[in-house]
Structure 1
Amino acid sequence: MLRGLTTVNYWADDVAAAAKWYAELLGVEPYFNRPGPDGRPAYIEFRIGDYQHELGIVDSRYSPSGPAAGPAGVIMYWHVDDLTAALDRLRSMGAKDHEAPTERGPGFVTASVVDPFGNILGIMYNAHYLEVLGSRP
């Protein structure tokens, strides 16, 4: 039934600021920008990673249940080749620790931060991800 990850959405009160922050983090500019009725960005989207997954930033005004009082919800982990270096970079850009690096088993280490816009960003060194990537033609 579930065929693959299509889009992960994060929320921000200031989509333009979030777009700038994530563009710096990811090293790419958003490929899609939908303005709201006031002309400010209401939704922007990046294509990132080995599989060109979509990372969207949505104006918090459009949150289906309103913004959370703090970081909440599902944590989606992005594979990184060097968890320590990725965590250091995120911290240097103003992200705050949410969960310290935790070994989940041989070849699996996770950590998460809260971005400057209140979203939980998970990172993971994942041996299975590398196996799948290596099996692609």
Structure 2
Amino acid sequence: MATLNLWADDLEAASAWYTTVLGIEPYYVVPGGYVEFRVGDREDELGIIARSYSPRPQPESPGGVVVNWHVDDVRAAFARLLELGATEYEGVVERGNGEGFVTASVVDPFGNVLGIMQNPHYLEVLRR
């Protein structure tokens, strides 16, 4: 993955919300059109595009692909996202056979699905 793009009708509000969620300011801004954050250990790019630039109509309800961002504590991150105004898409789920894979997902206030995950494999790759 190089960049994950999300859509928002209100780009300024989305930029402010993700600034709060991520604890960082966007590093790249095109006023009224696009903001981009560098996130995590590998500085993956999270871009938010003004929905008016969408080449196709966006679906009325969230769904489709869920990209999971690694977090150290899914339960705490999930609770924080809900406190900040996201809504539950899928609650906390233990995956596998007790191997430490845990996921949850929310719908952000702008209609995008945001997945979070505790992922031992991700941590193993980082250690290498």
TM bucket (normalised to shorter chain) is over 0.9
Moved over 2 A (4+): none
Aligned to 1:38: none
Residues 101-127 of structure 1, C-alpha deviations (whole Å, 9 max, x = no match): 111111211110000000000000001
2: CA distance between counterparts of 1:52 and 1:66? 30
Partner of 2:30: 34
For 1:115, the aligned partner's letter is D
TM-score normalised by structure 1 residue count = 0.89
* 1:124 paired residue among 99, 110, 117: 117
Residues in 1 aligned to 2:81 and 2:55: alpha-carbon distance in whole angstroms: 28
Alpha-carbon distance, 1:72 to partner: 2.0
CA shift, 1:75, in A, is 0.5
Total equivalences in the alignment: 126
Return the letter of the residue paired with 2:109: P
Q: 2:40 aligns with which of 43, 46, 49?
A: 49
Q: Which amino acid aligns with 1:69?
A: E
1:103 to 66, 82, 94: 94
Q: Aligned match of 1:14 in 7, 10, 13?
A: 10
Q: Which runs of 5+ in 2 are unaligned?
A: none
TM-score by length of 2: 0.95
Q: CA deviation at 1:7?
A: 0.3
Identity of aligned residues (%): 56
Runs (5+) with no aligned partner, structure 1: 36-40
Give the 3-state SS of the residue equivalent to 1:23 in structure 2: helix
Cα gap change, 1:113 to 1:102, in 2 (>3 Å):
same
Displacement, 1:73? 2.0
Tell me by how many angstroms 1:61 deviates: 1.1
Selected match of 1:60 from 45, 51, 64: 51
Question: In the alignment, residue 92 of structure 1 is paired with which amino acid?
Answer: E
